[in-house]
Amino acid sequence: MARLMAKTKPYHRWMVLVPLSVSGLWFYLLEQTVLQPEYWIHIRLDAYIPFVPMFVIPYIIWYVYVAIPAFYLFWKSPREFTRMAMFLALGMLVACTVYTCFPNGQPLRPVIRNPRGLLRVAIYYLYAIDTPTNSAPSIHVVYSVAAHVAITRHNNRRRRNRWLNGASLLVAVSCIVSTVFIKQHSVVDLVLGLMLSAVLYLLIYRRKAVAERRLGAC
């Protein structure tokens, strides 16, 4: 009976869109209201990290990197999509709780006036639409980890492309480090994002795996 329940348990892929939407709306409202942080997040190491405009490319690729696997898994693997969506929603909800209780931001952005070159123009407009507030922990980091985990798990289960896991890891790492090289985040934001991702991974994937092994042993 335990095995049957484990196999037939429904994964409500549509219902998980509710917390995703709520968390997204919460973040949007914070972006519109928290204009002056109470806590500025930065450490000495940030000053030694150069400003490298080229990293705006993986920073922008991040939007596609998260969206494509989410859309694909929604239709092709509802179970994996549900777990990925839980990772995204819980990550955003935890981050927004921190942003609400401890309004924070980072003072690392360089002043860009009359930008020249495509990369600097892209950063100029990115700065205009993406505020330097609500930065710790970094949602960019959490979502990158969530996308990579979902991609590799689905790929490993299907045993399709050997190169896909490595390519996904390269993109994920590029997206994560891009946050500090274009001065969108402090190293502190990045580390806190990774720590939050580790906790979410244990809660969503490791505990589930243990439960399934126990059910299989019944």
Residue 47 tokens, joined? 């000053």
In this structure, how many other beta carbons lie within 10 angstroms of the beta carbon of residue 127? Answer: 18
Q: How far apart (Å, rounded) are the C-alpha atoms in residues 36 and 199?
A: 29
Write the CA distances from 24 to 91, 139, 157, integer angstroms: 11, 11, 30
If you average pLDDT over residues 46-61, what whole number do you get? Answer: 95
Model-level pTM? Answer: 0.87
pLDDT tens digits for range 2-34: 343 334 344 567 788 888 999 999 999 998 887
